Amino acid sequence: MYRHAFDADGRKPLNRRIRILTIGHSYVVAENRALVREVARDAELDVTVAAPAVFRSGLGPIELQPEPPALKSNLKLKALGARFTQWTQVFAYDRRGLAMLIEEGGFDVVHAWEEPYIYAGYQIARAMANSDAALCFRTAQNIDKRYPFPFSHFERAVRERAQGWIAGGNLVFESMIRRGYPKERGRMMTLAVDLDAFKPLAPERKQTVARDIGLRPPIVAYVGRLTHAKGIDLMMRAMDAVGGSTPWSLLVMGAGPMEGNLRRWAAARGWSDRVQVRLAPHRDVPAYLGAADLMLAPSQSGPRWREQFGRMVIEAFACGVPVLGSESGEIPYVIGEAGKVLPENDAGIWAKAIVEVIGSAELRVAMARRGFERVQAYSVAAVAQQYSAYYRELADRRRLAA
């Protein structure tokens, strides 16, 4: 079993960096590694990222994307075999490959960027049976759920093995404490936005992008799954109330079961020329979002779900785009005073706010400024510092326990 060598005061590993392994299916996309890439800039940390060699998503099969050479990344990238990746709750990493990676890596900390109740999270915990590394996991569940077997067993096994856990938002942290997660081991750390990728566009660039996508300003944008829970029904009703006499275009970036409803709605009102629905690759989102004049985040709470964070909100803030968001889940915490938080299901109030914002350049500038100031706390650099500190704490805690 791997053991550390420590210096005379017993606090820091001798002659080597702290070794971190972070595993998650979202890492197949290079843009999704911005946060851990920033963590790897820390001279005291040696970071390995593991992800499925191929992951099937709404965009089709995605092969593990290499680190862009221009970024001069310090990451070590490992591909793992994986099966059933189209079903997140039951997909499985290659058992032997996962075990070999953990057993041979000599890691101080293993971070499972997978929910503890899914099979992949459980696999990671099981693969650490012969490892003395500290385990932590991340969760985004902000509702007090009780999972059926075997998912309840997966969650319990992961929680018992872990030395730490990370909540993706305020409501997540509160929910996990109520469910008995040890508070002293938990930290609240949100998603982050890469301010080098998402940034305000110059006016002439905004005009070029709008012209390229075939929409006339002012452009109202939506980014996310096309489902009832994400507020597509509310968005359509709000735009109905805004009406066709007010100048606007609607850019919807996403896919999902309500795509057909959206297209039929636009066609029935004669708005097909001012409503676009497209599944945009992540690399194109910064430009498309940056061309917008307003972004909507109309998520709807239900018995089994409420918005877990709202990455699109901080991406819009980073692009200098004003945001209207609903009261669902974490959205009010993320928006703060930088945007407008509206009732979840009042299309009239939403329509009034939309007209107010797209009708006032002065208001848009003020909201954009507040959003850009607020997003600094959600930047990759800021959140990476939190992760680096927590990884050090876990490594030290595990040493003391040993």
Question: What pLDDT is stored for residue 9 in this prediction?
Answer: 46
Sorting pLDDT into bands at 50, 70 and 90, what band is 10? very low
pLDDT digits (tens, 9 = 90+) for 95-110: 999 999 999 999 999 9
- What is the mean pLDDT of the segment spanning 269-282? 92
Sequence-distant (6+) residues with CB within 8 A of 93 are 23, 52, 80, 81, 82, 120, 123, 124
For residues 321 and 223, what is the distance between their CA atoms, to the nearest angstrom?
Answer: 13
Query: Does one domain contain both 159 and 278?
Result: no
- What is the mean pLDDT of the segment spanning 106-125? 97
- What is the mean pLDDT of the segment spanning 366-373? 98
**For the purposes of burial, counting CB atoms within 10 Å of the CB of 188, is it exposed (0-12), middle (13-18) or buried (19 or more)?**
middle
**pLDDT of 232 above 90:** yes
The whole domain housing 86 covers: 18-192+379-401
Query: Does one domain contain both 222 and 143?
Result: no
Q: Evaluate whether residue 12 is within a structural domain.
A: no
Q: Evaluate whether residue 263 is within a structural domain.
A: yes
**pLDDT of 362 above 70:** yes
pLDDT digits (tens, 9 = 90+) for 372-392: 999 999 999 999 999 999 999
For residues 64 and 86, what is the distance between their CA atoms, to the nearest angstrom?
Answer: 15
The sign of the CA dihedral 88, 141, 378, 250 is: positive
Query: Does one domain contain both 373 and 385?
Result: no
Query: Does one domain contain both 153 and 225?
Result: no
Place of tokens 């979202």: 26
**Least confident among 8-22, 154-168, 346-360:** 8-22
Sorting pLDDT into bands at 50, 70 and 90, what band is 161? very high
* DSSP-derived pairing of the beta strands 60-63 and 109-112: unpaired
Q: Evaluate whether residue 10 is within a structural domain.
A: no
Question: What pLDDT is stored for residue 281 in this prediction?
Answer: 81
Question: What pLDDT is stored for residue 1 in this prediction?
Answer: 33
Question: What pLDDT is stored for residue 12 in this prediction?
Answer: 44
pLDDT digits (tens, 9 = 90+) for 41-68: 999 999 999 999 999 876 678 999 999 8
Q: Evaluate whether residue 198 is within a structural domain.
A: no
Query: Does one domain contain both 87 and 141?
Result: yes
Q: Evaluate whether residue 8 is within a structural domain.
A: no
Which two tokens mark 335? 């928006």
- What is the mean pLDDT of the segment spanning 293-316? 96
What value does the mean pLDDT of the chain take? 93
Assign residue 280 the CATH number of its domain: 3.40.50.2000
Question: Residue 33: helix, strand or coil by DSSP?
Answer: helix
Q: Evaluate whether residue 197 is within a structural domain.
A: no
- What is the mean pLDDT of the segment spanning 268-275? 96
Question: What pLDDT is stored for residue 283 in this prediction?
Answer: 85
Percent of the chain past pLDDT 90, that is, above it, reads 87
0.85 cut: is pTM over it? Answer: yes
**pLDDT of 7 above 50:** no
Sorting pLDDT into bands at 50, 70 and 90, what band is 402? low
- Residue 290's Cβ-side half-sphere holds a number of Cα atoms within 13 Å equal to 22
**Least confident among 200-209, 233-242, 281-290:** 281-290
For residues 215 and 221, what is the distance between their CA atoms, to the nearest angstrom?
Answer: 11
Question: What pLDDT is stored for residue 282 in this prediction?
Answer: 81
Higher pLDDT: 58 or 351? It is 351
Query: Does one domain contain both 111 and 158?
Result: yes
For residues 237 and 218, what is the distance between their CA atoms, to the nearest angstrom?
Answer: 19
Query: Does one domain contain both 215 and 321?
Result: yes
Sorting pLDDT into bands at 50, 70 and 90, what band is 400? confident
Q: Evaluate whether residue 9 is within a structural domain.
A: no
Query: Does one domain contain both 210 and 278?
Result: yes
The sign of the CA dihedral 258, 264, 266, 272 is: positive
Alpha-carbon distance values, 328 to 301, 311, 398 (Å) = 5, 14, 37
Query: Does one domain contain both 369 and 385?
Result: no
Query: Does one domain contain both 211 and 357?
Result: yes
- What is the mean pLDDT of the segment spanning 11-20? 68
Query: Does one domain contain both 23 and 118?
Result: yes
Q: Evaluate whether residue 1 is within a structural domain.
A: no
**pLDDT of 14 above 70:** no
Query: Does one domain contain both 95 and 211?
Result: no
- What is the mean pLDDT of the segment spanning 208-230? 96
**pLDDT of 5 above 70:** no
Domain count within the chain: 2
